[in-house]
A and B are shown apart, each in its own frame.
Chain A
Amino acid sequence: MGTARPTDAPGFSTSRFRAEREADWIAFDTLLGRLETRGAKALSSDELLQLPILYRATLSSLSIARATILDKALLDHLEGLAMRGYFLIYGVRETRLSRLRRFFLYDWPAAVRAVWKETLIIALIITLGALTSWSLVAHNPEWYYNFVPEEMAGGRDPRATVEFLRSTLGHGKAGGEDQGALHLFATFLFTHNSRVSIMSFALGFAFGVPTMMLEYYQGIGLGAMLAVFSAKGLGVDFGGWLFIHGTTELFAAALSGAAGLRIGIAVVFPGARSRLQAAAEAGRTAGKVMVGVILMLLAAGLLEGFGRQLITDTVMRYAIGSLMLAFWLAYFYIPRRENVA
């Protein structure tokens, strides 16, 4: 190269490269903008067909630009454009409605079926907790005060009279529950239970140990209460009081625990996959289960807040509770054809 030779335009130049391809980038940019704001409906079928062609043109421009062009603004623009294009073109092309339909028809029951082992384990743990505290309290009522905190008990302890205990179950007049505040009560129960469930799911990554402890503790509270009521001969009534929403709520609690446990197990025993990958796969199954759990808790909150306060007949309560349980079991576990989509 000559020493003082002026830099004449070389055969390949940024300006030529840009002039030849700029129209494609601008067209792609506008299509993406409309796609992002208004969805696939905003594009005609011709434009939809154009989309992958423009996308590939942009990617090829990016490859060439990276190797030959030093214009930073141009490179940044192309990188941003290629990335937006990639995520829109390979992203989910599904309407919200069909996604919802698929979730309820296939994904949710399938996810619940997938964690059946964990569900059994958690159910056992809850039962074990209930049995432990029940047998302890039945032998020595003093134990009760260790299990159920004062403010939770609300006077429902071994010293209480049969009359008082019966009134807390919604029989008799002393209930004192204002009908107008039922929705408040239901809401409180729903948000509280949801948070407990989310916690027991979220704590799963710590090898599932906190999850199991949380579920065991739930069982403990249950068993202690049961012992107090059955000691006063109110066991059957208490069962009905619990059953109407408890089948749904405890089922949901067991599922949230199972979801957490699934993650914990995946982290401890990742098998052939890497630990990160195993956790991610378990997390996705568990995520599906958890959306369902929140919905179940909403149903349980409604049953508890409204159903239990309005329906005071024990037989009726048992009937509704069993019906709900049968519904959930059938919905989750009756085998069905897999989604082919």
Chain B
Amino acid sequence: MSAAGNLRMRAAQEKKLREFVTPEGVDLQLRIASAALRLGALLIDLILIVLTLVLFTLLILWAGLASNSSIAVTVWLLGAFVLRTFWFIGFELGARAATPGKRLMGIRVVARDGGRLTADAVVARNLIRELELFLPLTMMGVGAAEDMVSGWTALAGVAWSLTLSLFLLFNRDRMRMGDLIAGTWVVMAKRAKLDRDIAADGGGVDAIRFTDAELAVYGIYELQELERVLRGADPRAMRDVADTIRGKIGRPVAEEDDVFLTSYYRQLKARLERGLLFGKRREDKYASE
């Protein structure tokens, strides 16, 4: 990866970050959820809604209540409406402000102004969904059912309604129409578990000592990639990385890969963190000392 590529990647990451300062003055740096995650969450929710309806119908059939089919039809009509409308509202009012689909995708709804997420905002953002989701379908239905003046008219209708539905692709905050009206955002709700401190592995004793010149070749980006490899503990990846580092600093293959990498990680981290304390933040290997 080139210096420019690294820079571009970091800029793209930062474009998704939004300042979100708590009353204590700490910026939580919320990350806007991508459109793909949103679509995934929606699909999961829709599938779950249909499954719930099917199960409910089976339950009623099993209970023998629906000897006449009209009750089953009622259940579907009413159930589909109630579930579709209140599934999203009900779950988003909960403590995690996320439907099951959103929870699986690791995203949640947040009020844009940093205040609390109110019930009316949740209701507003979800009622608009009716429009976004079903207007294109209705348009298509109209186009198909009636032999309209021409297929082009129907197509224009679908295209027009799709611009509403795909609204979130056209703004950098990935807001749906509903988010816009309700004043909300959908952001990443990452939950990383507290992993072990790999610098303290093996009692924190260094098997190998590296010189300052040997440690000066890498920056923070490389350090954190190294951390990822160490936590992943895949022998092949570790071998590749260890060989790359050895080649770069000109050391022979003398130790086990994990011993070598852990030592290098620990000392590189200590060096870069000392730099931080002195106000020097070296983002990657291309940045100057």
A binding-site residues for B, Cβ under 8 Å: 1, 3-7, 9-10, 12-15, 18, 22, 25-26, 29, 35-36, 39, 56, 59, 62-63, 67-74, 76-77, 79-80, 82-84, 86-88, 90-92, 99, 103, 107, 111, 180-181, 183-184, 187-188, 190-191, 194-195, 198-199, 201-203, 205, 263, 276-277, 279-288, 290-291, 294
Contacts and interface: CB of A to CB of B under 8 A. Distances in A.
B84 to A, nearest CB: 10
B286 interface: no
13 contacts: A3-B213, A13-B270, A26-B194, A70-B269, A77-B194, A82-B22, A91-B116, A103-B119, A184-B77, A191-B78, A194-B81, A198-B131, A280-B183
Contacts of B277: 10, 12, 68
A205 B117 contact: no
Given A3-B211, A39-B95, A83-B28, A180 B116 contact: no
A161 B139 CA distance: 36
A294 B82 CA distance: 10
Given A84-B191, A284-B124, A277 B183 contact: yes
- Between B23, B81, B120, B224, the greatest number of chain A beta carbons within 10 A of the residue's beta carbon is seen for B120
Nearest to A291: B123
A26 B195 CA distance: 12
Contacts of A283: 120-121, 124-125, 180-183
B275 to A, nearest CB: 10
Contacts of A285: 120
A286 B272 CA distance: 53
B237 interface: no
Interface string B194-215: 1101011000101001111101
Interface in B67-101: 68, 70-71, 73-74, 77-78, 80-81, 85, 95-97
Contacts, number: 209
A106 B25 CA distance: 34
Contacts of B68: 180
Nearest to A287: B124
A1 B213 CA distance: 12
Contact of A280 (B23, B181, B189, B200): B181
A15 B199 contact: yes
A5 B199 contact: no
Interface string B166-195: 000000000001001111000001111111
What 6 pairs across the A-B complex have the smallest Cβ distances? Answer: A280-B183, A287-B124, A202-B131, A283-B181, A76-B192, A287-B120
Interface of B: 22-24, 26, 28-30, 68, 70-71, 73-74, 77-78, 80-81, 85, 95-97, 108, 110, 112-113, 116-125, 127-128, 130-131, 134-135, 177, 180-183, 189-195, 197, 199-200, 204, 206, 209-213, 215, 220, 223-224, 227-228, 231, 267, 269-274, 276-277
Contact of A14 (B128, B135, B192, B273): B273
B204 A25 contact: no
Contacts of B23: 90
A106 to B, nearest CB: 12
A58 to B, nearest CB: 10
- Between B24, B121, B127, B228, the greatest number of chain A beta carbons within 10 A of the residue's beta carbon is seen for B127
- Between B28, B113, B200, the greatest number of chain A beta carbons within 10 A of the residue's beta carbon is seen for B28
Contact of A91 (B113, B117, B181): B117
A79 B194 contact: no
Contacts of A5: 212
B212 A72 contact: no
A290 B127 contact: yes
Given A70-B273, A71-B197, A84-B189, 16 more contacts: A3-B211, A7-B215, A14-B197, A15-B200, A88-B95, A91-B116, A190-B78, A198-B131, A199-B135, A202-B131, A205-B180, A276-B180, A280-B112, A284-B118, A284-B120, A290-B123
A5 B209 CA distance: 9
Contacts of A25: 194
A232 B78 CA distance: 37
A14 B277 CA distance: 12
A263 B28 CA distance: 31
Contacts of A1: 212
B224 A70 contact: yes
A30 to B, nearest CB: 11
Nearest to B215: A7
A246 to B, nearest CB: 21
Contacts of A3: 211-213
Contact of A198 (B130, B206, B273): B130
Given A92-B117, A191-B81, A63 B70 contact: no
- Between A15, A87, A111, A277, the greatest number of chain B beta carbons within 10 A of the residue's beta carbon is seen for A87
Contacts of B130: 195, 198-199, 202
A284 B212 contact: no
A80 B190 CA distance: 5
A56 B120 contact: no
A77 B193 contact: yes
A200 B192 CA distance: 43
B194 A284 contact: no
A13 B199 CA distance: 10
A39 B274 CA distance: 43
Given A59-B26, A187-B77, A263-B181, A73 B131 contact: no
Contact of A187 (B22, B78, B135, B197): B78
